Amino acid sequence: MNRYQTLTVDGYEEVVRCDNREAGFAAWIAIHNTNRGPALGGCRVWNYGSDEEAFFDVLRLSRGMTYKNSLAHLPLGGGKCVVRVDLGRVDRAHLFESVGEFVDTLGGRYITAEDVNSTVEDMAHVQRSTAHVATVGASGNPSPFTAYGVYCAIKAGILYTRGRKNLSGLRVAIQGVGETGGRLARLLASAGCNVVAADLSQERLDRLRSQVDAQVIGPADVHRCRCDIFSPCAMGGTLNHKTIPELRCALVAGSANNQLLNPSDGHLLDRLGIVYIPDYAANAGGVINISCEIDGEYDGERARIRTARIGETVTEILHRSVATRLPTSVVADAMAEELFKLEKVA
């Protein structure tokens, strides 16, 4: 049986903890802001080392979703669910049905979706207990949209900084060629880019090289590669005080979440004259696609058109950054805040 406890956290609309001893999990839902609409954010499942760690994660991630959803102009707020569980020791169907009950207690103010360690199949179990779940079918895998959004961000970045409409002949170093990075590599190769790829998985590199002509580089060296564009598409924190001075690129844009280890890293990139396209602006294609499922009847073409608007957002960020002499990371945060703090979207 789920037991609930409401927690008061400054700056958050609602934070609730759920414990279910029989099902073997603890979970937290944080609703950061709903000024633009119900809070959308995935359900992250992780065997956290402590409750504090899980709690910290749900606060950080739900806030990030407010910024991402707002900057993408979606009529959605930011929220997240994290589940602390050892997946090897629980009945998965029961777990996700119980998570669905938890989501349902928020009456639609929070909409869940898949995330790290939770799948579309798991969301079908969540759906047995609540209607407030996206990605149960029609919109499918978000990765193609995420990759396409990053591609649009890169095109806008190159147009703004170099006045070039095409990417032909540009060298792009991609860190991680999985679901999103692999697709991005294919899009860029089709546009005439020279792709340099790094991954920890030889299988993923082999697959990519069977599809496009890509040069392979070691994971430790990819950020040092001389190139036009460096694209972090693996894990977060890869832009930090150690790696940034080693970059030999003009532009950074990728799918990875939380690319900057610290906010000061956005300032460092700016000081070094490297144009950084903020991660949550570039990688919003997946959530834009999901929002098209929430909207009513899903239409893949509409999702693609909306994803392409990431290019306009990137142009606006770059324009404001030049005009105000502020780093793009600071500008993007301010733009998102304008969009979610002003007024409720009707």
Q: Which stretch binds ligand NAD (CB under 6 A): 80-88, 100-108, 192-200, 303-311?
A: 192-200
Question: Of these, 196, 234, 251, 310, which contacts ligand NAD (CB under 6 A)?
Answer: 234
Q: Which residues contact 101 (CB under 8 A, 6 or more apart)?
A: 2, 129, 130
Q: How far is the CB of 101 from ligand NAD (least distance, A)?
A: 27
Q: Which stretch binds ligand NAD (CB under 6 A): 8-16, 157-165, 199-207, 243-251?
A: 199-207
Taking the least distance from each CB to ligand NAD, the nearer of 69 and 180 is: 180
197 binds ligand NAD (CB under 6 A): no
Taking the least distance from each CB to ligand NAD, the nearer of 256 and 268 is: 256
What distance in Å separates the CA atoms of residue 198 and residue 297, rounded to the nearest whole number? 38
219 binds ligand NAD (CB under 6 A): yes
How far lies 73's CA from each of 13, 44, 131, 140, 255, in Å? 20, 24, 24, 21, 18
Main-chain dihedrals φ then ψ at residue 138, nearest 5 degrees: -55, -45
Strands, E, within the chain: which ranges?
3-7, 14-20, 25-33, 39-40, 43-46, 77-84, 110-111, 171-175, 194-198, 214-216, 229-232, 251-252, 275-276
Site string for ligand NAD, 99-138 (x = CB under 6 A): ----------------------------------------
Q: How far is the CB of 21 from ligand NAD (least distance, A)?
A: 31
57 binds ligand NAD (CB under 6 A): no
Taking the least distance from each CB to ligand NAD, the nearer of 106 and 314 is: 314
Q: Which residues contact 289 (CB under 8 A, 6 or more apart)?
A: 139, 142, 145, 303, 307
Main-chain dihedrals φ then ψ at residue 68, nearest 5 degrees: -65, -50
Q: Which residues contact 330 (CB under 8 A, 6 or more apart)?
A: 266, 267
What distance in Å separates the CA atoms of residue 33 and residue 67, rounded to the nearest whole number? 10
Q: How far is the CB of 294 from ligand NAD (least distance, A)?
A: 16
Nearest Cα residue to 33 out of 15, 16, 13: 13
Tokens (6 digits) for 215: 């040069």
341 is catalytic: no
Q: How far is the CB of 222 from ligand NAD (least distance, A)?
A: 6
305 binds ligand NAD (CB under 6 A): no
Question: Of these, 66, 180, 231, 307, which contacts ligand NAD (CB under 6 A)?
Answer: 180
Q: Which stretch binds ligand NAD (CB under 6 A): 92-100, 126-134, 227-235, 303-311?
A: 227-235
Q: How far is the CB of 6 from ligand NAD (least distance, A)?
A: 29
Question: Of these, 33, 255, 321, 329, which contacts ligand NAD (CB under 6 A)?
Answer: 255
Tokens (6 digits) for 140: 């499918």
Question: Of these, 179, 265, 270, 333, which contacts ligand NAD (CB under 6 A)?
Answer: 179
Q: How far is the CB of 46 from ligand NAD (least distance, A)?
A: 13
Characterize the bridge pairing of strands 275-276 and 251-252.
Answer: parallel
Amino acid at 170: L
178 binds ligand NAD (CB under 6 A): yes
The full DSSP string for 196-212 is EEE-S-HHHHHHHHHHS
Which one is catalytic: 80, 165, 341, 344? 80
149 binds ligand NAD (CB under 6 A): no
Q: How far is the CB of 271 from ligand NAD (least distance, A)?
A: 25
Q: Which stretch binds ligand NAD (CB under 6 A): 19-27, 89-97, 177-185, 300-308?
A: 177-185
40: which strand partners?
78, 111
The full DSSP string for 118-178 is B-HHHHHHHTTT-S-B--SSTT--SHHHHHHHHHHHHHHHHHHHH--S--TT-EEEEE--S
Site of interaction with ligand NAD (CB under 6 A): 142-143, 146, 175-176, 178-181, 198-201, 204, 219, 233-236, 255-257, 283, 286
**Active site amino acids:** 80
